[in-house]
Amino acid sequence: MALKFCTQCGSKLAQADSFCPECGTALETAATVESAVPVPEFSPNASPSPTIHTTPIQKKPLSLWKKIALTASIVAALALVGAHLTMKNLTAPEGKIEAFYNALINDDKETVFSELSLPKDVIYSPEAYMSYVKDQDMPLFLNHLQENALNVANDGLTRTIVHENEDELFRIQQTKTLGIYKSIIIEPITTLVKIETDLNEGKLVLENKEYSFEGKNIDLGLFLPGLYKVEVQSNNTYIPNNVPRDVKISTTEREHIFSFTKENSMIQLDGDFPDSLVYIDGKSTKKTIKELKELGPIFDDREVTIHATKKTVNADWAESYSETAQAGETVHLSFPYHEDVIEKTSEEIAAEFFDEDELSSFVKNFRSDYEDALNDQDFSYISPYLMEGSPAYSELKDFMGEYEDKAFHYDFTQDDVTDVSIASDQAIVSTNEKFVFTNHKGAVTHYDRTKEYTIKLIEDEYKIYSINILDTDKGGGN
């Protein structure tokens, strides 16, 4: 009978063994080893044969260090597989969407915002934002999120998630962890919020931060959408008002503008008598129409009652009609009394005869004709504008006489009226004038002047009484 030995470790095997009991090698890899010397059959007549001994191959045991190394390799391999599966689960789009959605449903603010990739310095109210996002069919929203997240992870194309009201909510973008694990980031879409104002009084309070009005527009920054609590405050002397509002900031427009301007927040004042005293809701402001000019700011739709009083020639007080007005309106305070009964100031009297727009046009027309008069050397062009015997009449007549029969040229390039003031019996018109003078030798000089024209009303016609040159800058030219 043939003997069996393991070819791996040399151990002797039983005929029924299917694997080596010493090293575990399967029978398929074990070989049957025949004895080097055949065992003869027994014969009584045969001479005894010499006994031959065979020595089996002995198994060489593994060293301690090799066993430790083998064990460590197996543990490391298992750890790597576990880490791979863990990272794959942690970065899977499905897990991120599930965590974000469940946090939304459970009002878990911390988890919701940990799952979002927020822009730097973005301003938001967690409650307002979460309420805004959840104000829709949430199961449908979840399906929309999951579908788009998987598509982004697969093809890398950014998707935009839209609220059922059609406002844009998020951008979902692909990212990779350790360069191999595909995942997503959820970036909220923001709105730039601004205050449009030309007011110098008042303030807006939003998210516990105050923004004071200083006559110019204010950029508040990027906001997440939602319904925000806003308060607009005015501590003006005559109509103080603090107005709370609920304001929806959405992504429908990339900019949300709070508009608080004089046009929509002030009441403009004028009246028959600028020096009459103004009353608001029956209380004196101790200011005249001319001093106040406007009331406010007013940030709500309240109505105020306004009237004025004026002293009469009999030392009594006349009262204007009362007017009711809201922010954004103009009030004209008129008196029921005949004008002769009211005691008028010299300025009020003058204002009845002088008109600022007509005065501006009068001076500009004079300048146009004066340019022609100089170049044509004809004083008659401007004499109708001048009051005979006045300083202006004499000075201009003499000035033009000095340049008679001399070759020169004037080119008036700018005639701007900068101010009009009305006194008791005259008006002062301030101007800024620029012109180019070329003398008989061809030398060119550029002039920039500020002037004051004193104008009187003579038989219902404006006449220039005097012209005062306040300042002159001049320089050469080609």
Condensed to tens digits (0 to 9), the pLDDT of residues 310-352 reads 887 776 788 899 999 999 999 999 988 655 556 566 666 666 6
104 located within any domain: yes
pLDDT average, residue stretch 163-182: 84
Same domain for 102 and 123, yes or no, is: yes
- Same domain as 461, residue 381: yes
| Domain-located, residue 459 | yes
360 and 331 co-located in one domain: no
pLDDT exceeds cutoff 80 at 66: no
Task: Please check whether residues 310 and 416 belong to one and the same domain.
Answer: no
H-run or E-run covering 234: strand 226-234
Q: Is residue 71 part of a domain?
A: no
3-state SS, residue 386: strand
Instruction: Bin 191: left if φ > 0, else alpha if -120 < ψ < 50, else beta.
Output: beta
1 Cβ contact partners less than 8 Å away, ≥ 6 residues apart:
15
Verify that 363 and 388 share a domain, yes or no.
yes
Lowest mean pLDDT among 11-15, 90-94, 170-174, 268-272: 90-94
Does the pTM exceed 0.75?
A: no
93 cis-preceded (ω within 30 degrees of 0): no
pLDDT above 90 (res 279): yes
User: Per the domain annotation, does 369 fall within a domain?
Assistant: yes
Same domain? For 38 and 132 the reply is no
Query: At residue 198, what is the residue type?
Result: D
Buried b (16+ CB within 10 A) or exposed e, 156-171: eeebebbbeeebbbbb
Looking at the fold, whether 369 and 469 belong to one and the same domain comes out as: yes
Q: Pairing between strand 209-212 and 181-188?
A: unpaired
> d(Cα 454, Cα 272) in Å, to the nearest integer?
25
How do residues 348-387 score in pLDDT, each as one tens digit? 666 667 888 999 999 999 999 999 999 999 999 999 999 9
Mean pLDDT of the chain: 85
332 shares a domain with 312:
yes
Residue 72 lies in a domain: no
Count of the separate structural domains present in the chain:
5
**Where does residue 461 rank: exposed (0-12), middle (13-18), buried (19+ CB within 10 A)?**
exposed
Q: Which domain holds residue 209?
A: 197-258
How many CB atoms are located within 10 Å of the residue 466 CB?
Answer: 18
Q: Does the pLDDT at position 209 exceed 80?
A: yes
What pLDDT, on a 0 to 100 scale, did the predictor assign at position 80? 65
Q: Give me the CATH number covering residue 305.
A: 2.60.40
Note the pLDDT of residue 382: 95
Of 169, 188, 207, the one marking the end of a domain is: 188
Domain end marker among 301, 318, 343: 343
pLDDT of residue 478: 52
pLDDT above 70 as % of the chain: 83
Phi and psi, residue 175, nearest 5°: -145, 165
Answer yes or no: is 105 within a domain. Answer: yes
Q: Which DSSP state fits 34?
A: -
Separation between Cα atoms, residue 333 and residue 308, nearest integer Å: 7
Query: Is position 351 within any domain?
Result: no
Higher pLDDT, 373 or 272: 373
Same domain, 362 and 454: yes
pLDDT digits 0-9 by tens, 439-474: 888 899 999 999 999 999 888 899 999 999 999 998
Regarding whether 156 and 268 lie in a shared domain, the answer is: no
pLDDT in tens, 19-53: 787 777 776 543 444 444 444 444 455 455 555 55
User: For residue 64, what pLDDT is reported?
Assistant: 73
E strand residue ranges, 366-408: none
Q: Which two tokens stand for residue 434?
A: 């620029």
Assess whether the previous peptide bond of 56 is cis (omega < 30° from 0).
Answer: no
Query: Does residue 132 lie in a domain region?
Result: yes
Q: Are residues 248 and 273 in the same domain?
A: no
Are residues 107 and 174 part of one domain? yes
**Three-class secondary structure of residue 162 per DSSP:** strand
174: pLDDT strictly greater than 80: yes
Tokens of 271: 């009246």
396-417 pLDDT, tens digit per residue, is: 999 988 877 678 899 999 999 9
**Interacting residues of 363 by C-beta distance below 8 A, sequence separation 6+:** 415, 417, 429, 431, 453, 455
